[in-house]
Structures are given as structure tokens and as C-alpha cells.
Structure 1
């Protein structure tokens, strides 16, 4: 793998990781409202942090491995192919 490809894939990982941060915060908030409301505050904080970090990591890995095919596909403009 060339350095330019690695840098490009890293930028996809950053973009997808940021989206993962947003989705992770939303997921942790929804999970808190549904299930974690009656648990100790410190435990809830660590569970929410773990959920957010897992989603960020998964989305960054997805962005690094599949980001180019997901963001630069030709399905948006089929007339140019």
C-alpha cells in the first residue's frame, strides 16, 4: 500500500470516525433513556463511554477499509459511466 493511499484511507477513517462520534453519542443517550436510567451514575458514564468508543472505532475501521467505495461510487451519476 502506498503512502498516498494510506493518507487517503486515513482521511476516510477520520470522516467516518466523526460520524461515528455523533451516532455513538446519540446511541448512548437513547440507551440511557431506555435502560440505564436507574443505574449508578458512574457506571452509566463508563457504559456510555464504552458504547461511544466502540462505535467510533467500528466506523473508523469501516472508513479506512471501505471508505473509497462508499464515498466515491459512480451510482450518484450513472450518466457519466
Structure 2
């Protein structure tokens, strides 16, 4: 856990403003952590935000803060 925290802190500035969350359809937490750290180490904050916004990667879900934003959500199961 400490190793993952260290890696996360190295790339803290690459986290999107609205952080991604794990897709509940992918319940392997260790794999999610690995993919998150990989994304943070290879993409800029803007690239990661765009990927989440466009839902190019189904491992991460966009988190909506406002009711207005929540109305835009399209559930794709």
C-alpha cells in the first residue's frame, strides 16, 4: 500500500479535477489501482480528463458533482 501511495503522490498533479472512480462492473481493485497509476504516469491531467469525459476507457467512470451534471449521465449497461 505504501508503494502505491508513493506512486500516487508522484503523479498527484495528473489527477483530473473531478477524480475518476472505478467502474463497478470491474471489481478487481488491485487491477484498478494498477491501471490508475499507469494512467497517471503516462497521461497529462488534460489527457486523462478528456479520456474520462469521452468514456474511451470503461475502467473509469466520470463523477458528477451537481444535479445539472447528473442529468447528463447516460447509463450504459
Q: Higher strand fraction: Structure 1 or Structure 2?
A: 2
Q: Same fold (TM over 0.5)?
A: no
TM-score by length of 2: 0.28
Greater C-alpha radius of gyration:
1
TM-score by length of 1: 0.27
